Amino acid sequence: MADKVIHAEVVGKDGAALQRFYADLFDWNFDTNNPGGYGIAPSSENGVATGVGDATPPGSAGWVTFYVGVSSVDDALAKAEKLGGKVIVPKFSPGPNAVLGMFADPEGHVIGVTEL
């Protein structure tokens, strides 16, 4: 079975303002009950769970990307490199039950992978 997109993300200089923008534009409700205030609109509202928050490092321009659920972040990142991509964020855990990494495709588009 093919891996599926399970999360989309918009991050920028002012995560709270971006959350208000997308909430007003699309009528999404963000759960920000976490230490960083990262907002998540659940998939039941918009089809794919969507996160909106502050870019890391603070003050960076931010990005729009999506995350694909995979069985192994290490394997996916290695395969991306083998196919001409570049690891941007090595495997890490931003919180409980979350493991992810990010790579750039051969044209520089940044995509995330997360273990299911």
User: Which tens digits make up the pLDDT trace of 41-87?
Assistant: 999 877 899 999 998 888 788 899 999 999 999 999 999 999 999 99
Q: Which residue, 3, 1, 2, 5, is CA-closest to 67?
A: 5
Percent of the chain with pLDDT over 90: 79
Q: Which two tokens stand for residue 13?
A: 């200089």
pLDDT at position 45 is 78
pTM: 0.87
Report the distance separating Cα 26 and Cα 8, nearest Å. Answer: 15
